[in-house]
Amino acid sequence: MTGGRRLGCLLGDGIGPEVVPAARRVVDAALSAAGAPAVEWVDLPMGAAALAEHGAPLPAPTLEALAGCDGWLAGPHDSESYPPQWRASGQRVPGGELRHVFGLHTNLRPSRTRPGVPARVPAMDLVVVRENSEGFYADRNMAVGSGEFMPTPDLALVVGVFSRPAVRRAVRQAFALAARRRGQVTLVHKANVLHLAFGLWLEECRAAAREHPGVRLETVLFDAMAARLVRHPERFDVVVTENLFGDTLSDLAGELAGALGMSGSVNAGDRHAMAQAAHGSAPDIAGQDVANPVGMVVSAAMLLAWLGERHADPVLAAASSAVEQAVDAVLASGVATRDVGGTAGTAEFTDAVVDRLSAPGAAAPAVGRPGA
């Protein structure tokens, strides 16, 4: 790696201005410990503050600047708090708009139990591969409009979009990931009712399974999956599914593994990737220094891993692994935020992770926690 990567920094709403800077500090510490060039951070407005100041939650200059970045950290948005005129306009929410504009077609959402964190299950380690550009969030795939229609005040229609190229792309990513992990892909579908849409998913999964003889394929109905995930989460490795199902199941998996605030997430396209934690803006706890920064921190680690793979840069991969290890070590030492039974504030927890990364020998060689 010759120069530092250029990364955007979008605080967003609610707890975003607390957890995004925390993740940024951790990235800086990890890269410094790994001997990598420092990131060139680009601060950009997004969310309610951007709406008030620039008239849009995702102003055009933000989009233009992001196009010149390698990736970015994005906080959550609280579009429910935006003025009624904006909500009535039918515009995509900022996260959806970013996924649409930059073609961030795949959302990886790992959930695993971590040392020292009380979980609802004994052990689990899975990754949800969520097709991110269409499915039942049809607004993501429309050139114009939201995919929702209201012919009369008492009738709402919603379009689901399932294209073979998008399905194939998600399925191939899932199989490639499973081949590097424990070798199992679970397709979550609803082909018993939606024969055509999920017929495509089944066909693509069976084709991919033929190309990956070392990966087992199982198929589970969405409703059955909700129950199975609660009862036996340890049995799943890579779960691949459409947009809305993936959104739902990854929140469930995150909560089972500890708490929603622990879950990382990266939205990846061919040229850009966005680290954005799985949780929302949590306005109920915003500004109190109690938000759990782990979800955003491990999302940033996933972004480093994505950049490392894209640019064949083992130093970035090592920095990503070091962040994961530092988070685990801090949690194992009993330092945790209150949502997972601890007493540390956001800043105190972040300090502990940064200290751990800055300790001699912290930037261990990449150990390859696949998908994490």
For residues 186 and 346, which CB has a smaller minimum distance to ligand ATP in the complex? 346
CA distance 80 to 99: 19
Q: Which residue of 261, 264, 308, 371 would you call a contact of ligand ATP, by CB under 6 A?
A: 261
Name the one range near ligand ATP by CB under 6 A: 128-136, 266-274, 279-287, 311-319: 279-287
Task: Tell me the two tokens of residue 107.
Answer: 């959302």
Selected binder of ligand ATP within 39, 74, 217, 291 (CB under 6 A): 291
User: What CA–CA distance (Å, rounded) separates 254 from 257?
Assistant: 5
Number of H helices, E strands in the chain: 12, 12
User: Does 112 help bind ligand ATP (rule: CB under 6 A)?
Assistant: no
Indicate if 355 belongs to the active site.
no
Which position among 260, 307, 327, 354 is part of the footprint of ligand ATP (CB under 6 A)?
Answer: 260
Quick one: which H or E segment has residue 352? helix 346-358
Given the residues 237, 247, 328, 339, select the one marked as catalytic: 247
Contact between 171 and ligand ATP per CB under 6 A: no
- Contact present, 48 and 13 (Cβ < 8 Å): yes
**Min. distance of Cβ 32 from ligand ATP in angstroms?**
25
302: closest CA among 3, 23, 9? Answer: 23
Task: Decide if residue 276 touches ligand ATP (CB under 6 A).
Answer: no
Min separation Cβ 67 and ligand ATP, Å: 26
Evaluate whether 152 touches 343 at the Cβ level (below 8 Å): no
Size of the site for ligand ATP (CB under 6 A): 14
Task: Report the nearest approach of ligand ATP to the CB of residue 290 (Å).
Answer: 7
> Which one of the listed residues 125, 139, 251, 339 is annotated catalytic?
251
DSSP code, position 54: H
220 makes contact with ligand ATP (CB under 6 A)? no
Which residue, judged by CB position, is nearest to ligand ATP in the bound state? 280
Q: Does 308 bind ligand ATP (CB under 6 A)?
A: no
Q: Find the binding residues for ligand ATP in span 4-33 (CB under 6 A).
A: 15
C-beta of 62 vs 250, nearer to ligand ATP = 250
Annotation says 251 is catalytic: yes
Where in 314-343 is the site for ligand ATP (CB under 6 A)?
A: 339
- Our CB check for ligand ATP shows the closer of 166 and 282 to be 282
Q: Give exposure, 11-31, as e/b (b: 16+ Cβ within 10 Å).
A: bbbbbbbbbbbbbbbbbebbb
Which among 129, 131, 111 has a CA at the least distance from the CA of 121?
A: 111
Rounded to whole angstroms, the Cα distance separating 262 from 146 reads 31
Beta bridge partners of 10: 74
Phi, then psi, of 7 in degrees rounded to 5: -125, 135
Query: ∠ CA 181-184-186 to the nearest 5 degrees?
Result: 130
Catalytic residue among 70, 78, 125, 137: 137
Nearest distance, CB of residue 331 and ligand ATP, angstroms: 14
Q: Beginning with the edge strand found earlier in the chain, give each strand of the sheet holding 125-131 in spatial order.
A: 40-43, 6-10, 71-74, 273-275, 266-268, 106-112, 125-131, 238-241, 184-189, 216-221
Q: In this chain, which stretch among 181-189, 280-288, 306-314, 349-357 interacts with ligand ATP, using CB under 6 A?
A: 280-288
Q: Is 241 in the site for ligand ATP (CB under 6 A)?
A: no
Cβ pair 139, 243 in contact under 8 A: no
- Give the residue from 253, 258, 257, 281 showing the smallest Cα distance to 337: 258
* Closest distance to ligand ATP from the beta carbon of 282 (Å): 4
Judge whether 28 counts as a catalytic residue.
no
Burial status of residue 64 (CB atoms within 10 A of its CB: 0-12, 13-18, 19 or more): exposed
Site string for ligand ATP, 119-148 (x = CB under 6 A): ------------------------------
C-alpha 215/C-alpha 322 separation (Å) is: 28
223 catalytic per annotation: yes
Residues acting as catalytic residues:
137, 190, 223, 247, 251
**Residues within the interface to ligand ATP (CB under 6 A):** 15, 76, 260-261, 279-282, 284-285, 291-292, 295, 339
